Structure formats: structure tokens, C-alpha cells
């Protein structure tokens, strides 16, 4: 059964110092309720919005990166509706009508050799937050915290071009990486990226799912919704056009408690913000200032460092991993090995601990680890054990190796002694080995066993062969 | 009383040379206020610190500090302009106890020049009206005839000047709200070019149309006050790139050779004969001063009122949405109410005229009607701008009546909103097109004032004030009355 999925993505411009229309801090997280506010973002009588120019630049950069058209003038509209999280009971946003457009429109983004069309990109203000004591269902009161009100938000609306929840994940990964590379949004901050999704099956009615709090939840919500709609169909019932909410603890979509009326937002141009003219010069300046983006960076990783496409892809999907790698590659010429350590081993930890930044490990650690293995000072197995320790402690690998007495035994003298002992206790195996070359490995295994894996396997094998040869 | 009607410039000079003390003057004005307020009711709130602030000015004068161009001048401020720590009600029950935490930019500027904010003056609720009857605090009376309205919505500011309760006043003008009461009270009132004066701190009614403006008993005073409040403001993105203006220096240069048009449509149908005649007389006087006069037509004027009220009400419906009794203002106790039910309860406290405009504004913006009303109204506005721009290529100024009639009786129009809206016919064009317009005292019919309106091109305040000043010199009418 064919599926159509469209996205409405909201991302906060967390890199801004101030809110979209006033000088309150854009960093509202962790502050006491209603302390990060001023007369303007509280919508006090007589106040006027003052447009943050940097926000306009950031939003334009996002539009350009998503291959969208930009307007010759940018104007703001009021979206009027009553809700307690809106201090003015209207939201200053953008709108595409009457020859005026939002900051971006008609774009297209390639991801994983597929394409999604971008319908529009607009700059708007975030509302405040409703807070409930306990849960929304049981709380007797609704509390409102306006600390977030007025934070700059970029809304990205796609056409319903996705057919598979997995594609949504791939696209959102790419988008997150783009936003990180642009340096406009820290996508890992709680609530900095939100996603509404609409899903319809085989030409059926469209269902909208709101309240998806992170990109990673989107795929799960869509998968649930597809199977829900399928089972509704199998029961011979029709899927209703409705708004549902994603409950991330129960992992289900639920019908919104109140049936939302058909809202008439009475859009009209915001008289307090004069239209901003976009001359070509500004666009050119922004293009010049554009940092290296994920696609270009991936190619560079492949060409310059000889990484495989897959390894490079994994790195650039997360700007912090890519930066981590690049810093490591500066310290050690075997960049491929550094990349392999990051992608195959370190990434397992970063996934678990939600991001590399919460770990105490730095590129210099991974580089040293790679070097120790490359120089046969420790074995790969030992290196993996050491990694497990240092991700949390931040100790240098060489120190841990010393502490664990884990450095490889690679001097001939010590190894010869150990091999002599093994030959003494495994006489029949030595006899076999003299007949059959394949059983030599058994002797090596015994050597490794008696050194708890610390013997340099290459050198040990060489010495075993030498000793066997001397016997015959 | 006469001792209390000094021009701002004269008063400041006397305070600065020590012949008058600011404290004494303010105290005497306050005595006057106490005496006439029961009759006139210009003020909603008086500033308890006025005398203290005046004393500070006297001290500064004595110690030789800079005191500013309005040192010690008592100013009445319309109560829709925010004053830090001083109640700002918009004459509405919704804000009856609201004390702003910040000053409007114009208030900061006036205080920087040493002005004393005497108090906050009455208006129609949220500045919606032409009579100052739609106030939650009761109507203001016209000092020239207390059975009549002072005009509106800046009726309190105009009345305070005519009754010698202040030296200067601030009003706001969305569709004539400075000029109408100036005309009805025989004082001078200017609506500046849109963007010349900061709106930061002016409680929005229809933000694309309105502006704060100066009011006084002489053109000189109005020019001085405008010089103090005009200019670009980083807190208002709609202000123009204009700074350090002095509108007083060239005010006496006369109007020889100035080309003036008299607007035909504004002196014909529906205009009181006496009003039309006084405008013709004024034209003759201007001509005798060396200006040339010709009659002109503004064709788009027939759509002006429809366009104005559509846009103004649309903006009202959005601007006033924030008054919901949750964050500030009237607290109706939300206990036990769901959101929408509480909104309904809290917002029922708007007055009838405000409710009417919110409802009409909501209607004209709704999805099925936007193109039919709001968009059309904006198109008319563009048309009108173009037509006026064409006229100002040939002419320097336009003259017309400010109001087509003399002041109404109190209660006369209160139940006839459409008739009341019609009275704005001559004033709304300046708001729709953003050009400056001034009302100067012109004549009296019996004992009732009639004002002359002069309109100019964008940022032509200097010429506008020059013409008003020249006219004032040859047209001596009373501007103050003992109540």
C-alpha cells in the first residue's frame, strides 16, 4: 500500500544571542519561569517588535542551502488565534499570499539519492510553554512560562514526497547535519527541533501528528501511524482526517483531546515591521560566508583522507563526529585508522550516551589508541578494553595500558622464555606441529593464553616457527 | 488664569532666568486643575510627583545645570501613552489599574528636555471615538460649552489646554484624534508624518495609521514640542531616518509664493455652511499673506472613510487581542474557567464601541472576506497615496475644514456610530496617506470653535508650521477660556 508522508519541521535558531523581536536571551533553558522576559516579548501595551537582523540572515542561509527561492522583499504577517502561550494572542510569522512570500519557497533537497521538495521556509516567533502539574489530564491548573516566547523559529514545510518512514529518518539526519554545519541550530538541545508529520495511505485522508519532540521520534511515530491506519482499513472503517498527538512514553499516537475547529487565522501584514528588501548583494555575501556543508565535506573526506563512502557518511551525519575526526586526522597521518576507530567503536558509546560531548574523550585519545595498536604496543582487543575505560574517565590510553600492565610483550627475550615453557608443557602438540604446519596455531594460542593476550602474535609466531625449525 | 497661560518658550525662559519658579508654576496649575476638573474632567490620573519634579528643575537652574528646552513646562499626556510608574488606562476597564514598567520614547524625550508630566488625560476607550464620551471614566466636557463634547479621541488633552490646565499636551491621531479635539477646543494640534515620531509606548489601536503628536495653544509651542519629540527611534522600526530637527527657527519666514489648494470635496456636500465660509475666509487671509490659492479635487476621497474604517478595525481586532486578563490588566479570577470561557468573561469588559470595532475588524479579515474588504481598502489607500503625490507635485499645501461641523452636544451621536464616523471625513486622508496635517483655531460660530486644517506633503512639517504660524498672526482667536 502506498504511503505519503509530509513534514513540518520547526527548528530554533539557538545560535542567536537574542530573541527574534527583543533583546531577551535566546537561551531560555533552565531558567526560573517567566524570568527571561521583557515588555516586548510579553506583549505589554505599547511595545513594538524589533526584528533581529541576524535571524533573517540565518533563515536566508537555510533557504539557500535547501535550494529554495528567496523573495525580493521579506515581510511578516500576523497569525491571529487565542491561546494562552501567545502573549499577544497572535503570532508574528510569514505567509505566502498576495505577491508576498516567506523567506524561502519551492526548494528541493537530495538525500540518499532521493529527492524531497520544500514547499516553504518561514521565520517566526516561538510561543511560550504550557506547564502542567503532573500530567495534562490530571492537572487542575495550566501554568504558562513565557521564557521561550519570542525565540526565533524557522519552519520548513516539505511536500508529501516521502514514501517510507526510513527515508524520513535519513532526510532528518541530513537536515540536522546541515543545520549544525551552518552553525544556526544546536539540534541536540531539548525542544530545539520539533516535527509535525502528516501521513496518508493510498490516497486516503490525511492525518496530522503533532508534538513530536525530536527528529529521532519522527520515524517511530510514523511507523505507528501507518500500522494504525492499516488496521483501521482492515476493519473496514475509514481513516478520519484528524490531528493526533505522539505520546512518546506510551509510543502511540492519540487523537487530540479537543476536536480542533477549522481555524481562521485572519492573516494580515504586520504593520510594525517594514518589509525588508533583499538585494542580490546580501544573497551573494551570505553565499560567500556559507561554511562547508555536509555533502562537500563527505567528498573531501573520501578524497583527502581515503575514507570509504560509508565511513565518511557516518562521520558527516553528525557534525561533532566529523569535527572530532578532523581534529584527530591533524594529529596522526593514518586518518583512515582514526576514522575506523570513531565509526566502529567510539560511535557505539556516543549513541549510548547521547552525543560525544557528554563523553570525556578527545581526539587525542583516539589518536593515541590507534597509534598504540599500529605500533603493536597493545593488541586490538586490549585497545577496545581500554576505550571502554577512557570514554568515562578521560585518562590517556597509554596510562591505562601501563596501569593494567596491558602493553604488548614484544621483546624477543621475554617471548622466547614463554615459548620455551609452552614447548616444555605441550610436548605432544610440538610433535604434531613438526608434522603438520596447521597445528602451529595451537601453540600460538597457548602462548597467548599464558600471556593473557599480551604477546605480540606476529613475533610469537615467528619465534615458534624458528624454534620448531631448530628442533628438526 | 492669564498668568497660567504662558507659552512654553516664555515659561521656560522665565524659569531659567529665575523670575518664575517651576515649583510655584506647577503648583498653581494644579490648583487650577483642582478648580475646574469637576466641570471639565480632562484628566484620568494626576502625577503625584509633579511638584517634586518641578522642584528638581528649580534646583538645576540654580546650580547652572543643563535643564532642556522645556524646563519646568507642565505637559498633559493622553492616557494611551505609557508612563513608567504612572497608571496608563487607555480609558478602559481592561487597564484601569495598569501601571507600565517602561516609558514611551516621547516621554523619555520630554523629560530629557525638562518637561513635567502633569497627568494623564481622558480619551475615548483605546482612542476609538471622536467625542471622548466612550471613556470608562466618564466624558470630558468642552470648556467652551460644557454641554458639548471636546472632540476626540484626544479630548482630555485638548480640553486641558483650553481650560488652562496644562501648557502643552500630547495626543495621538489615528484618524483625526488630535486634530478633531484641537478644532473643537480652539487649540493647535499636529499629526506629524507617519514615522517622524516614535510610537514606542503608544498603545496600539491601528498601528499603520496612527502617530503621537504635539498640541498647544500656539503654533510656536507645537513646533517647539515637535522639535523635542521627533526623530528616529531604535525602538520603533517604522520611524524615519530623521534627527535633530528644529521646527521653530524658520517658523516666521512667511508664506510668500506658497501654492495652496483648497479641497473642493471638503467644503461642499455635508459641510456646515458656516464651516465652509470660515475656510474660504481663511483662504483669503492666506492669499493676502502672499500665498496663491486654487481649488482642487481629490477624487479618491469618496472611498476614504470606507477604506479607513476597514483598515483601522482590522488592526484593532488584532492589536486588542492581547487584553485577555491573563498577564496584566483586569484580573477576573480564572478559577474554574477553561481558557475560552475565561477569555469571554474577561473580554466582555471592553466598552461597546471597542467591541463593535473588534467584531467588524474580525469580520473583514476572515478568510472569505479578506479580498473583498481588507485588500480593497489597501488598494484604495495606494490609489490615494498616488493621487496625493500627484497633487503635491503641483501644490505645496492643502487647506480644508478640520471638522465639517461644530462640536456636538454630549450624547448626540453616541447611539449613531455611522454618523459619528462620517465626521472623520476630512481627517482620515492624512492617516491613510501618512502625510502631516495640522488643525489651527480659525473662528467661532456663536461661541463654538471651528478649526482650519492644513495638510502638507511627507515631511513638510516646517512649511506646514510656517503657514499655520503666519495664519495665526493675522487671525487672532481665543485659545483659552475660563470655565
Nearest to A271 among B201, B207, B374 (CB): B207
Nearest to B321 among A51, A88, A264 (CB): A88
- The partner residues of B215 in beta bridges, in order of sequence, read B169, B189
Predicted local confidence at residue A260, as pLDDT: 54
pLDDT band at A353 (very low <50, low <70, confident <90, very high): low
Predicted local confidence at residue A380, as pLDDT: 84
Distance separating alpha carbons of residues B311 and B360, to the nearest angstrom: 10
Task: Confirm or reject contact between B241 and chain A (CB < 8 A).
Answer: no
Taking an 8 Å cut-off on Cβ atoms, the answer to whether B322 and A78 are in contact is no
Taking an 8 Å cut-off on Cβ atoms, the answer to whether B200 and A48 are in contact is yes
Predicted local confidence at residue B25, as pLDDT: 98
Contacts of B314 in chain A (CB under 8 A): 268
Nearest to B237 among A44, A90, A272 (CB): A272
What mean pLDDT do residues A53-59 have? Answer: 95
Cβ-defined contacts of B368-373 (< 8 Å, 24+): B370/A266, B370/A267, B370/A268, B373/B310, B373/B314
Query: Which regions of A161-217 does DSSP assign to beta strands (E)?
Result: 193-201, 207-212
B78 noted as active-site residue: yes
Rounded to 10 deg, the angle between the A319-331 and A294-305 helix axes is 30
What mean pLDDT do residues B449-467 have? Answer: 98
In the set B153, B186, B218, B300, the catalytic residue is B153
pLDDT band at A433 (very low <50, low <70, confident <90, very high): confident
Environment class of A303 (CB within 10 Å of its CB; exposed 0-12, middle 13-18, buried 19+): exposed
B445 noted as active-site residue: no
Task: Confirm or reject contact between B204 and chain A (CB < 8 A).
Answer: yes
Sign for the pseudo-dihedral over CA of A80, A84, A85, A87: positive
Asked if residue A357 has pLDDT above 90, the reply is no
- Percentage helix, strand, coil for chain A under 3-state DSSP, each rounded to 5: 45, 20, 35
Percent of chain B, pLDDT > 70? 100
Distance separating alpha carbons of residues B160 and B242, to the nearest angstrom: 30
Which among A78, A47, A49 has a CA at the least distance from the CA of B203?
Answer: A47
The pLDDT tens digits of the residues spanning B72-85 come to 999 999 999 999 99
CA distance A89 to chain B (A): 5
| φ and ψ at residue A398, rounded to 5 degrees | -65, -35
Environment class of B97 (CB within 10 Å of its CB; exposed 0-12, middle 13-18, buried 19+): exposed
What mean pLDDT do residues A299-315 have? Answer: 95
Contacts of A77 in chain B (CB under 8 A): none
Could you give the C-alpha distances from B25 to B49, B73, B365, B480, in angstroms and in order? 14, 9, 50, 17
Taking an 8 Å cut-off on Cβ atoms, the answer to whether B90 and A45 are in contact is yes
Taking an 8 Å cut-off on Cβ atoms, the answer to whether A273 and B367 are in contact is no
B154 noted as active-site residue: no
Domains of chain A, by residue range, sit at: 3-286, 320-403, 412-471
pTM here is: 0.91
Contacts of B431 in chain A (CB under 8 A): none
Contacts of B207 in chain A (CB under 8 A): 271-272
Query: Which regions of A213-298 does DSSP assign to beta strands (E)?
Result: 242-247, 252-255, 268-269, 276-277
CA distance B202 to chain A (A): 5
In the set B56, B78, B93, B109, the catalytic residue is B78
Residues in B 283-322 with any Cβ partner in A closer than 8 A: 314-315, 317-318, 321-322
Taking an 8 Å cut-off on Cβ atoms, the answer to whether B366 and A88 are in contact is no
Predicted local confidence at residue A81, as pLDDT: 95
Taking an 8 Å cut-off on Cβ atoms, the answer to whether B101 and A39 are in contact is yes
A contact test, residue of B90, B102, B335, B359 with most A CBs within 10 A = B102
Task: Indicate the pairing of strand A104-111 with strand B116-121.
Answer: unpaired
Contacts of B201 in chain A (CB under 8 A): 46-47
Taking an 8 Å cut-off on Cβ atoms, the answer to whether B321 and A274 are in contact is no
Please state, rounded to an integer, the average pLDDT across all residues of chain A.
Answer: 90
What is the number of other CB atoms lying within 10 angstroms of the CB of residue B336? 8
The CA-based angle A168-A174-A180, given to 5 degrees, is: 135
Taking an 8 Å cut-off on Cβ atoms, the answer to whether A39 and B237 are in contact is no
Please state, rounded to an integer, the average pLDDT across all residues of chain B.
Answer: 96
Which is more confidently placed, A406 or A48? A48
Task: Confirm or reject contact between B381 and chain A (CB < 8 A).
Answer: no
Taking an 8 Å cut-off on Cβ atoms, the answer to whether A90 and B235 are in contact is no
What mean pLDDT do residues B85-94 have? Answer: 98
Predicted local confidence at residue A358, as pLDDT: 66
Contacts of B82 in chain A (CB under 8 A): 45-46
Which among A110, A111, A146 has a CA at the least distance from the CA of A36?
Answer: A146
Taking an 8 Å cut-off on Cβ atoms, the answer to whether B204 and A46 are in contact is yes
B contact test, residue of A266, A267, A270, A274 with most B CBs within 10 A = A266
Predicted local confidence at residue B13, as pLDDT: 96
In the set B157, B177, B204, B218, the catalytic residue is B177
Distance separating alpha carbons of residues A110 and A105, to the nearest angstrom: 16
Taking an 8 Å cut-off on Cβ atoms, the answer to whether A46 and B104 are in contact is yes
CA distance A26 to chain B (A): 19
A412-471 is classed CATH 1.10.10: yes
Task: Confirm or reject contact between B199 and chain A (CB < 8 A).
Answer: yes
Taking an 8 Å cut-off on Cβ atoms, the answer to whether B326 and A46 are in contact is no
Predicted local confidence at residue A355, as pLDDT: 61
Contacts of A267 in chain B (CB under 8 A): 365, 370
pLDDT band at A309 (very low <50, low <70, confident <90, very high): very high
Which is more confidently placed, B481 or A202? B481
Task: Confirm or reject contact between B362 and chain A (CB < 8 A).
Answer: yes
What mean pLDDT do residues A339-345 have? Answer: 92
**Please, which residues have CB within 8 angstroms of residue B150's CB and are 6 or more apart in sequence?**
B131, B132, B140, B141, B142, B143, B156, B158, B159, B162, B181, B184, B185, B407
Distance separating alpha carbons of residues A128 and A138, to the nearest angstrom: 21
pLDDT band at B274 (very low <50, low <70, confident <90, very high): very high
Predicted local confidence at residue A198, as pLDDT: 95
Which among B461, B460, B463, B441 has a CA at the least distance from the CA of B452?
Answer: B441
Predicted local confidence at residue B443, as pLDDT: 97
The pLDDT tens digits of the residues spanning A195-251 come to 999 999 987 889 999 878 888 889 999 999 999 999 998 888 888 888 898 988 888
The pLDDT tens digits of the residues spanning B309-356 come to 999 999 999 999 999 999 999 988 888 898 899 999 999 999 999 999
Contacts of B326 in chain A (CB under 8 A): 84, 144
Predicted local confidence at residue B163, as pLDDT: 98
CB A51 within 8 Å of CB A40: no
| φ and ψ at residue A236, rounded to 5 degrees | 80, 15
Which among B240, B289, B295 has a CA at the least distance from the CA of B266?
Answer: B295
What mean pLDDT do residues A277-293 have? Answer: 90
- Alpha carbon B395 to chain centroid distance? 26
Taking an 8 Å cut-off on Cβ atoms, the answer to whether A271 and B236 are in contact is no
| φ and ψ at residue B199, rounded to 5 degrees | -95, 0
The pLDDT tens digits of the residues spanning B390-416 come to 999 999 999 999 999 999 999 988 888
Asked if residue A453 has pLDDT above 80, the reply is no
CB B85 within 8 Å of CB B43: no
Q: Which residues of A398-435 are buried (b: 16+ CB within 10 A; e: fewer)?
A: bebbeeeebbbbbeeeebeebbeebbeebeebbeebee
CB A221 within 8 Å of CB A212: yes
Taking one residue from A and the other from B, the number of pairs with CB-CB distance under 8 angstroms is: 99
B258: left (phi over 0), alpha (psi -120 to 50) or beta: beta
Predicted local confidence at residue B239, as pLDDT: 98
Contacts of B203 in chain A (CB under 8 A): 45-46
Residue of A nearest to B208 (CA): A271
Asked if residue A258 has pLDDT above 60, the reply is no
Nearest to A264 among B101, B236, B367 (CB): B367
CB B203 within 8 Å of CB B126: yes
Contacts of B233 in chain A (CB under 8 A): none
Asked if residue B483 has pLDDT above 90, the reply is no
What mean pLDDT do residues B33-43 have? Answer: 97
Asked if residue A259 has pLDDT above 60, the reply is no
Predicted local confidence at residue A257, as pLDDT: 60
The pLDDT tens digits of the residues spanning A81-127 come to 999 999 999 999 998 876 678 999 999 999 988 999 999 999 999 99
Chain A residues bordering chain B (beta-carbon distance below 8 Å): 39, 42-51, 78, 80, 82-84, 87-90, 98, 142, 144, 146, 264, 266-268, 271-274
Domains of chain B: 2-253+437-474 (3.90.1300.10)
Taking an 8 Å cut-off on Cβ atoms, the answer to whether B324 and A89 are in contact is yes
Task: Confirm or reject contact between B374 and chain A (CB < 8 A).
Answer: yes
pLDDT band at A402 (very low <50, low <70, confident <90, very high): confident
User: Which grid coordinates belong to A205?
Assistant: 485522508
Predicted local confidence at residue A261, as pLDDT: 60
What mean pLDDT do residues B180-190 have? Answer: 98
Judged by average pLDDT, the poorest of A73-77, A354-358, A384-388, B87-91 is A354-358
**Please, which residues have CB within 8 angstroms of residue B318's CB and are 6 or more apart in sequence?**
A78, A80, A90, A266, A268, B361, B365
Taking an 8 Å cut-off on Cβ atoms, the answer to whether B199 and A48 are in contact is yes
Task: Confirm or reject contact between B324 and chain A (CB < 8 A).
Answer: yes
Amino acid at each position: 500500500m502506498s504511503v505519503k508522508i509530509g513534514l513540518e519541521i520547526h527548528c530554533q535558531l539557538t545560535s542567536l544571542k537574542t530573541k527574534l523581536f527583543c533583546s531577551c536571551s535566546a537561551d531560555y533553558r533552565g531558567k526560573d519561569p517567566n524570568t527571561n522576559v521583557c515588555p516586548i516579548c510579553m506583549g505589554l501595551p505599547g511595545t513594538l517588535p524589533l526584528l533581529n537582523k541576524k535571524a533573517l540572515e540565518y533563515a536566508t542561509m537555510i533557504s539557500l542551502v535547501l535550494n529554495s527561492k528567496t523573495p525580493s522583499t521579506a515581510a511578516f504577517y500576523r497569525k491571529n488565534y487565542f491561546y494562552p502561550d501567545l502573549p499577544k494572542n497572535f503570532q508574528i510569522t510569514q505567509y505566502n499570499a498576495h505577491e508576498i512570500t516567506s523567506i524561502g519557497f519551492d526548494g528541493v533537497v537530495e538525500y540518499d539519492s532521493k529527492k524531497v521538495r520544500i514547499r516553504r521556509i518561514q521565520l517566526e516567533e516561538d510561543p511560550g510553554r504550557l506547564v502542567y502539574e503532573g500530567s495534562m489530564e490530571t492537572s487542575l491548573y495550566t501554568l504558562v512560562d513565557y521564557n521561550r516566547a519570542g525565540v526565533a523559529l524557522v519552519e520548513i514545510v516539505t511536500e508529501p514526497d516521502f514514501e517510507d518512514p526510513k527515508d524520513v529518518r535519513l532526510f532528518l539526519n541530513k537536515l540536522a547535519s546541515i543545520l549544525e554545519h551552518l552553525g544556526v541550530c544546536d539540534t541536540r538541545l531539548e525542544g530545539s527541533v520539533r516535527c509535525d508529520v502528516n501521513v496518508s495511505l493510498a490516497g486516503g485522508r490525511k492525518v496530522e501528528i503533532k508534538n513530536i519532540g525530536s527528529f529521532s521520534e519522527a520515524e517511530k511515530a510514523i511507523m505507528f501511524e501507518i500500522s494504525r491506519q492499516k488496521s483501521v482499513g482492515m476493519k473496514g472503517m475509514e481513516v478520519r482526517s484528524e490531528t493526533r498527538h505522539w505520546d512518546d512514553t506510551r509510543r502511540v499516537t492519540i487523537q487530540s483531546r479537543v476536536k480542533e475547529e477549522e481555524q481562521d487565522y485572519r492573516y494580515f501584514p504586520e504593520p510594525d515591521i517594514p518589509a525588508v528588501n533583499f538585494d542580490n548583494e546580501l544573497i551573494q555575501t551570505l553565499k560567500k560566508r556559507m561554511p562547508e556543508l555536509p555533502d562537500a565535506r563527505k567528498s573531501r573526506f573520501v578524497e583527502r583522507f581515503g575514507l570509504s563512502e560509508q565511513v565518511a557518511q557516518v562521520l558527516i551525519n553528525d557534525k561533532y563526529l566529523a569535527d572530532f575526526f578532523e581534529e584527530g586526522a591533524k594529529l596522526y597521518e593514518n586518518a583512515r585508522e582514526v576514522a575506523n576507530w570513531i565509526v566502529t567503536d567510539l560511535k557505539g558509546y556516543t549513541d549510548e550516551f547521547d552525543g560525544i560531548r557528554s563523553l570525556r574523550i578527545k581526539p587525542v585519545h583516539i589518536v593515541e589508541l590507534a597509534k598504540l595498536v599500529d605500533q603493536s604496543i597493545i593488541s586490538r582487543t586490549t585497545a577496545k578494553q581500554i576505550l571502554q575505560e577512557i570514554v568515562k574517565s578521560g585518562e590517556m590510553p597509554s596510562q591505562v595500558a601501563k596501569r593494567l600492565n596491558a602493553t604488548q610483550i614484544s621483546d624477543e627475550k621475554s617471548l622466547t622464555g614463554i615459548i620455551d615453557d609452552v614447548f616444555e608443557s605441550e610436548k605432544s602438540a610440538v610433535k604434531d606441529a613438526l608434522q603438520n604446519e596447521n597445528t602451529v596455531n595451537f601453540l600460538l594460542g597457548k602462548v597467548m593464553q599464558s600471556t593473557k593476550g599480551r604477546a605480540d602474535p606476529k613475533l610469537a609466531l615467528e619465534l615458534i616457527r624458528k624454534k620448531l625449525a631448530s628442533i628438526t | 488664569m492669564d498668568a497660567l497661560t504662558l507659552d512654553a518658550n516664555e515659561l521656560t525662559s522665565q524659569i531659567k532666568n529665575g523670575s518664575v519658579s517651576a515649583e510655584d508654576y506647577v503648583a498653581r496649575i494644579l490648583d487650577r486643575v483642582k478648580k475646574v476638573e469637576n466641570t471639565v474632567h480632562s484628566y484620568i490620573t494626576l502625577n503625584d510627583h509633579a511638584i517634586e519634579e518641578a522642584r528638581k528643575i528649580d534646583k538645576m537652574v540654580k546650580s547652572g545645570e543643563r535643564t532642556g528646552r522645556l524646563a519646568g513646562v507642565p505637559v498633559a499626556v493622553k492616557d494611551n501613552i505609557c508612563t513608567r510608574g504612572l497608571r496608563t488606562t487607555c480609558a478602559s476597564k481592561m487597564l484601569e489599574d495598569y501601571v507600565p514598567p517602561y516609558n514611551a520614547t516621547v516621554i523619555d524625550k520630554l523629560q530629557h528636555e525638562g518637561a513635567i508630566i502633569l497627568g494623564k488625560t481622558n480619551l475615548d476607550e483605546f482612542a476609538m471615538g471622536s467625542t471622548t464620551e466612550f471613556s470608562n471614566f466618564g466624558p470630558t466636557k468642552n470648556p467652551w460649552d460644557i454641554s458639548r463634547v471636546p472632540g476626540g479621541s484626544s479630548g482630555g488633552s485638548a480640553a486641558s489646554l483650553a481650560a488652562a490646565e496644562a501648557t502643552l499636551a500630547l495626543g495621538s491621531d489615528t484618524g483625526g484624534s488630535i486634530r478633531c479635539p484641537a478644532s473643537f477646543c480652539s487649540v493647535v494640534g499636529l499629526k506629524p508624518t507617519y514615522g517622524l515620531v516614535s510610537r514606542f509606548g503608544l498603545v496600539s489601536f491601528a498601528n499603520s495609521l496612527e502617530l503621537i503628536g504635539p498640541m498647544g495653544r500656539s503654533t510656536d509651542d507645537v513646533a517647539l514640542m515637535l522639535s523635542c519629540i521627533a526623530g528616529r527611534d531604535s525602538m520603533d522600526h517604522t520611524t524615519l531616518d530623521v534627527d535633530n530637527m528644529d521646527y521653530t527657527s524658520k517658523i516666521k519666514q512667511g508664506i510668500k509664493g506658497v501654492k495652496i489648494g483648497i479641497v473642493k470635496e471638503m467644503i461642499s456636500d455635508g459641510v456646515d455652511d458656516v464651516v465652509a465660509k470660515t475656510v474660504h475666509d481663511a483662504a483669503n487671509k492666506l492669499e493676502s499673506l502672499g500665498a496663491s490659492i486654487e481649488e482642487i479635487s481629490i477624487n479618491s476621497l469618496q472611498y476614504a472613510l470606507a477604506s479607513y474604517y476597514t483598515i483601522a478595525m482590522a488592526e484593532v481586532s488584532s492589536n486588542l487581542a492581547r487584553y485577555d486578563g491573563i498577564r496584566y490588566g483586569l484580573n477576573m479570577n480564572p478559577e474554574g474557567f477553561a481558557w475560552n470561557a475565561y477569555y469571554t468573561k474577561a473580554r466582555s469588559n471592553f466598552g461597546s464601541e471597542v467591541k463593535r470595532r473588534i467584531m467588524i475588524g474580525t469580520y473583514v479579515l476572515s478568510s472569505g472576506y479578506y479580498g473583498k474588504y481588507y485588500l480593497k481598502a489597501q488598494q484604495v489607500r495606494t490609489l490615494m497615496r498616488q493621487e496625493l503625490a500627484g497633487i503635491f507635485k503641483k501644490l505645496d499645501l492643502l487647506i480644508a475644514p478640520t471638522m465639517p461641523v461644530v462640536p456636538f452636544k454630549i450624547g448626540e451621536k453616541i447611539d449613531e456610530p455611522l454618523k459619528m464616523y462620517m465626521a472623520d471625513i476630512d481627517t482620515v486622508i492624512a492617516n491613510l496617506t501618512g502625510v502631516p496635517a495640522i488643525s489651527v483655531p480659525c473662528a467661532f460660530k456663536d461661541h463654538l470653535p471651528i478649526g482650519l486644517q492644513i495638510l502638507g506633503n511627507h515631511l513638510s512639517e516646517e512649511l506646514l508650521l510656517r503657514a499655520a504660524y503666519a495664519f495665526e498672526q493675522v487671525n487672532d482667536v481665543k485659545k483659552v477660556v475660563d470655565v
